[in-house]
Amino acid sequence: MAIQYPAGFQRTRWTIFGILVLSYMLVFFHRMVPGAVASDLMAAFGTSAAALGSLAAMYYFIYTAMQIPSGVLADTLGPRISVSLGGLVAGGGSIMLGMAETFDVASVGRFLVGLGVSVIFVGLMRSNAVWFSEREYGKISGLTILLGNVGSILAAAPLVWLLGFFTWREVFIGIGVLSIGLSLLTWILVRNSPEKSGFSSVREMEGLAPHAPSAVSAWKAFMAVFTNRSAWPGFWVNMGVTGNMFAFVGLWGIPLLRDVHGLSRADASNYTTVSLIGFALGVLLMGWASDRSGYRKPFVVSAAFISTLAWLSLLYLPWAPGWSAYLVFAFLGFSASGFVVGYAAVKEVCVPTSAGMAVALVNTGVFLGAAIMQPLFGWIIDQTWNGVMDGAVRIYAWADYANALWASVIFAAFALLVSFKVRETNCKNITHD
C-alpha cells in the first residue's frame, strides 16, 4: 500500500535531497578531475608519476581519515551543519589549488578539498535514512550515486572540452566559488529530519513505531559499529572494488590511453566517461534490483566477481581504441556498481541510530583503496620507465602500465574472497523487530 504523505512533505524532502546531491556531485568532480588535468599538473609542477599520484591521493588520504568522524558528525550535529561547513572548506581548498604556484601549496589545496568534501556523502546518506523509508533505501542510494556520478562524468570529457576555453586554474577557482554557494544554500534550506520541518517521522507515516533515540554516547555507538564483525566485509569489498576503480579512472586511465595508444586528452576522456556512465547506471540498477529481490549479499558477491574479470579483461584482452575499448572501460565502471548495496547491507546490521557511522565505516574502504592505489600505481610504472619525455611530461610504455594493473587484479580478487562474508539481511534491519 502506498504511503499517504502529508501536504508539503514530498516537496520538502526532495528539495533537501536535491541540494545535498548537488554538493555530492562536486565531491565526484573533485575525485575524478586529476585524470583530465594530469598532464597540466605534471607540466606545471614538474612531477613524476609517483608524485602526481601522491598529489591526487591527498584527497583520498584525508577523506579516508575523516570517514568515521564524518559519521559521528552526521549522527550528532546532523547533515545541515556538517555539509555546510564541509562545502566552505572544500571551496576554499579548490580556490587555493587553482592559484597554487608550487607543488606544496597545491598539495595543501588538494588536502583541504578532501577534508571539506569528506563529510558530504555520509551526511547525505544519513539524511536519506531519515527522509526515506527502509524499503526505499537501496533505490534512493542508487539514485544518489547515479546523480553524484554526473559530477564525475563532468570531470571527464565535458571538462576536457571546457579546458579549451578556460585554464585548469580557472576551472578550480570557479568550482570553489560554486561549492561555497552550495554550502550557504544547505544552511538555509536543509533540515536534519522530518521532525525538524514539522512532520512526523517516516516510520510513523508508515504506521510503525519511531526508532528510539540513542541512549549511548557517540563513542559507545562508534565502538558498537567498529566491533561489529558483520560490518567489516563491506569495508574490504569497497576497498578492492570501488576504490580500485576510482584510482584508475580518476587518474591513470587517460595517461594510459595517451601513452600507449597515442590518443589526445579529449579522445582518451571519452573512454573514462563511458566507464563512469557504466558505473552510474550500474549503481541505480543494483540498488533497485536489490530492493526488489529482497536480497543484498548476491549483488555484493557478483560485483566483486565482475570486477576481477574486468581488470583481467583490461590486462589480457586484445582491446584497442574503438568499440572494444569502450566495452572494456564500460565493463570496468559497471563492475564497481555493486558497492551501493553494501551501504544498505551495513546499515541493516547496525542499530538505526548509528546509520551514519555504519555507512562511514564501509565508505572508508572505498577511499583507503583509492588512496593506496593511486600512488602505488604511479610508483610501479616509475620503476620501469625508460626515460621517454614529451616536453615536461613523462611517457610510459604498455609494459609499465601492465605491471601496475596486476596490483588492481590482486585488489579485486581479495575483495571477491571477502565478499562471501557479507551477511544477508533480506533488506531489513536485523538489530530490531
Instruction: State the pLDDT at residue 429.
Output: 78
pLDDT per residue over 266-320, tens digit each?
A: 888 889 889 988 888 888 788 788 888 888 899 999 999 999 999 999 999 999 9
Is the domain covering 13-197+218-419 a CATH 1.20.1250.20 domain? yes
Instruction: State the pLDDT at residue 407.
Output: 95
Instruction: State the pLDDT at residue 65.
Output: 85
Cα 236 from chain centroid? Answer: 15
Distance (Å, rounded) from C-alpha 45 to C-alpha 151? Answer: 26
Distance (Å, rounded) from C-alpha 35 to C-alpha 52? Answer: 10
Instruction: State the pLDDT at residue 105.
Output: 93
| pTM, two decimal places | 0.73
Instruction: State the pLDDT at residue 50.
Output: 82
| Residue 316 grid cell | 589480457
Instruction: State the pLDDT at residue 10.
Output: 85
Instruction: State the pLDDT at residue 113.
Output: 93
Instruction: State the pLDDT at residue 432.
Output: 61
List the chain residues with pLDDT less than 70.
1-3, 138, 203, 206-218, 432-433
